[in-house]
Amino acid sequence: MKFGKEIEAQMVQEWQEAYVDYSNLKSILKDILRFKQLNNAPSPMAATIKGKLKRNASLYRAFSGLTSRFRPDSTLKNNEDEVILVRAVQEGDGEGDYQTMFLRSNEEGDEHELVFFRRLDDEFNKVIKFYKKNVAEVIVEADELSKQMNALIALRIKVDNPVIGQNDVVNLVPNGISSHSSSIDHPTNGGNQAWSMTNVIQEEQKKEDNDGINGGEGNKKEGFKAAPLEVLDHVKINVEVGTPLSTLKAVIKSSKSDLSFSRKELRTAEEKITRAIVEFYRKLRLLKSYCFLNQLAFSKIMKKYDKITSRNASKAYLQMVDKSYFGSFAEVTTLMERVEDTYAKHFANGNRRKGMKKLRPQAKRERHRITFLYGLFSGCSIALIVAIIVNLHARALLKSVERDQYMVNIFPLYSLFGYIALHMLMYAGNTYFWKRYRINFPFIFGFKQGTELGYRQLLLLTSGLSLLTLAAVISHLDIEIDPRTQTFRTLTELIPLFLLILVVSIAFCPFNIIYRSSRFFLIGCAFRCVCAPLYKVTLPDFFLADQLTSQVQAFRSLEFYICYYVWGNFRERSNKCEDSEVYRVFYIVVAIVPYWLRFIQCLRRLLEEKDAAHGVNGLKYLSTIAAVALTTIYQFQKQKTTTWLVLAAATSGMATIFNTYWDIVIDWGLLRRKSSNPWLRDKLVLPHKVVYFLAMALNCVLRLVWMQQVLGIQTVLFLHGTALTAVVASLEIFRRGIWNFFRLENEHLNNVGKYRAFKSVPLPFCYDQNGDNSM
């Protein structure tokens, strides 16, 4: 792999603008090479003679010696061989920039090389300033984590209430065995106060505390030196406004509360600090990787320059890089070692290997069996589709008198799984293209490293659900038609219900099978969507709520399940759901609920962030609620009146225009007239601009599809009403899949513009002003 592609693959995507622009520097070198080829292109014979003369001349040069001690004076640095001179220029604000002086500026074609070194200096200064800024930030974060650890250790002493001697030494170990440690190494479970003899011996062998976060001297005779309990006098608990209870507390009282010294409080504090340390260590790793890749880039580009120009400038420039603040990432390396020691000692019971597994989770391995299984399930699904089509055609079921009965009663039951499978298929496509175009969707959604599902896993789930659904459909048809099984009519009608119970059971299965972490993550997001006013709104929550707005027909299918199997006569395959006034009311309510949840989320964000855009977004969902309600009422009318038609058409048209504008301009960030890419935006991920225009046009067309419910297009297309409803719902899911890609692309580019590569992790403790100054 060429280095240009390698650096693109390994860089932190949110920091891509802070990396050295290797491709630009390489293009300048190509211009230099092209100039030299045009002006100094020797004949093949001349090149051969020149090469021989050069080799012969090298035989008469003074030998430089195998070591520097025996190097002759004649081989010392000669000013005539110097190509560049690099120096640091101090500016008025105290920040120093590096400038390279090209010493061969009187030669032919020197202007290209001057441009190269000017651009090289700009890139180096950009990189070193970014690195300095981030190192200063991590040092501040390390100091804050140190204070948090001091408070945590003092809280552990207070909660566990160990025996304290006269010299404030915690007597947790037998006499004769001591630990030279600055703090108590407490197990994370908090339930066992006895300390393992093995850990004590390890601490005795270590003899030094290198964790760098907790200071103090240990007692070599009696045990551990206790952390000062006075810290707790200046500490309060940060109440995270993210749960219903904490939200109500924050409204009534302050966002900070006094310590209760309970074991639950200790456990919560340990969990928060653990997450903070893991995220902090991840930042250090990425910062170290940033250093290494940029150093390698400068080395590669200078060696290319030497090769093209036949000069020896790389040595002087790379020496400057090594001696600069950027050249040695000692602070980052030291911090990483101290964090590793601290995490292993305080949160992994001294087991360094266990601690490193948490700090450095292994990358998820691609398994060939997943590809094999989703290929197998997909092939079986296609075979079942063909079998169903042949079955319907051979027995002329589409022309039978029971066609309408089947479409009204059975088709909506199975269509629910079709909507889910189609949505999963679109999301699988999204993950494939997000990964291909390096959109960091695991970071945006907040997935734990290694737990996110790739497109192969999603295709496996999609094909598995499709296989179950199609198998149920064909078994339903066969049992119904076969004379030998007609006596099992009740069991036949219960097949869709059994399938629904199976799918729900798998979704809520507590065992660690079928991607439990992803299932529970989805359930947690859905729960926070339902409790939208009481929970802090995060991107995964409102993104899921947006997905639910495209699954309105799936919710209506769930309502039909209840009506058909509870109040309908499913044994005779008949129902009177649409004649029930209660069913009609809930038919409107279940369609409104997803939009109402998004409206509540917008209000919550408006109150928290004080951004008027969230209020306008809430109005968008209110207009959609009005359109859905009036359109559904118009559909239920037996005698269509002009008044209801005008109301339904007006609200639907207004909502369509509002939603389409918001999709393209706000969610996708497109239609920027003055951008560098006319009518798009300044930064694009996809290489072909026409894709964006096609996506905008397709989004507009698909947004208009739901107008068919008002205009009555089903009479034109000669489709059964239930089938047309399923087609419209499928098109909306397809539109949502397209929306997902460009929405996350815009979010990713916003993160890139702000160099936002880390999630903010709430800390458990808050120091008051006096306590903070005393630390």
* pLDDT value, residue 417: 96
Distance CA 336, CA 138 (A): 11
Q: Which residues contact 615 (CB under 8 A, 6 or more apart)?
A: 602, 603, 606
Distance CA 250, CA 594 (A): 27
Q: Which residues contact 633 (CB under 8 A, 6 or more apart)?
A: 588, 644, 648
Domain boundaries, the chain: 1-33+83-160+228-249+261-361, 368-753
Distance CA 171, CA 451 (A): 42
- Collapsing DSSP to helix, strand or coil, 713 comes out as coil
Q: Does the reported pTM lie above 0.85? A: no
- Collapsing DSSP to helix, strand or coil, 598 comes out as helix
Phi, psi of 182 (to 5 degrees): -90, -10
Low-confidence ranges of the chain (pLDDT < 50): 43-50, 53-54, 56-57, 68-78, 92, 165-224, 254, 715-716, 773-775
Distance CA 149, CA 145 (A): 6
Distance CA 762, CA 264 (A): 17
Q: Which of 385, 412, 584 is nearest to 466 (CA)?
A: 385
Q: What angle do CA 684, 687, 690 make, to 5 degrees?
A: 90
Cβ pair 154, 160 in contact under 8 A = no
Q: Which residues contact 430 (CB under 8 A, 6 or more apart)?
A: 441, 737, 740, 741, 744
Tokens of 663: 């999709």
Integer CA distances (angstroms), 771 to 188, 524, 762, in order: 26, 37, 19
Q: Are strands 169-170 and 96-102 parallel, antiparallel or unpaired?
A: unpaired
Which value, in Å, is the radius of gyration of the alpha carbons in the chain?
34
Q: Which residues contact 247 (CB under 8 A, 6 or more apart)?
A: 241, 534, 535
Distance CA 214, CA 698 (A): 59
* pLDDT value, residue 197: 30
Amino acid occupying residue 356: M
Integer CA distances (angstroms), 703 to 422, 546, 746, in order: 18, 14, 20
* pLDDT value, residue 82: 73
Buried b (16+ CB within 10 A) or exposed e, 628-641: bbbbbebbeeeeee
- Give, rounded to a whole angstrom, the gap between the first and last alpha carbons of the chain: 51
- Assign residue 164 a region (left: φ > 0; alpha: ψ between -120 and 50; beta: otherwise): beta
Residue identified by tokens 């996110």 is 452
**DSSP character string of 335-394:** HHHHHHHHHHHHHSTT-HHHHHHHHSPPPPPP-HHHHHHHHHHHHHHHHHHHHHHHHHHH
Buried b (16+ CB within 10 A) or exposed e, 656-688: bebbbebbbeebbbbeeeeeeeeebbebbbeee
Supply the angle between the helices 516-530 and 539-549 in degrees, to the nearest 10.
Answer: 80
* pLDDT value, residue 64: 52
Task: List residues bridging with 84 in a β-sheet.
Answer: 102
Tokens of 282: 């991840």
Sign of the CA dihedral 439, 444, 450, 454?
A: negative
- Collapsing DSSP to helix, strand or coil, 482 comes out as coil
> How far is Cα of residue 656 from the mean position of the Cα atoms in its chain?
30
Phi, psi of 689 (to 5 degrees): -65, -25
Number of other residues whose CB lies within 10 A of the CB of residue 370: 14
Cβ pair 358, 306 in contact under 8 A = no
Phi, psi of 190 (to 5 degrees): 70, -5
* pLDDT value, residue 240: 60
Integer CA distances (angstroms), 719 to 192, 706, 709, 730, in order: 69, 16, 13, 15
Q: Write out the H or E segment, with its range, that includes residue 145.
A: helix 110-160
Q: Are strands 256-257 and 235-238 parallel, antiparallel or unpaired?
A: antiparallel
Supply the angle between the helices 721-753 and 539-549 in degrees, to the nearest 10.
Answer: 160
Distance CA 603, CA 619 (A): 10
Distance CA 564, CA 433 (A): 40
Q: Write out the H or E segment, with its range, that includes residue 199.
A: helix 197-206
Integer CA distances (angstroms), 630 to 148, 385, 624, 660, in order: 55, 37, 10, 20
Distance CA 752, CA 13 (A): 7
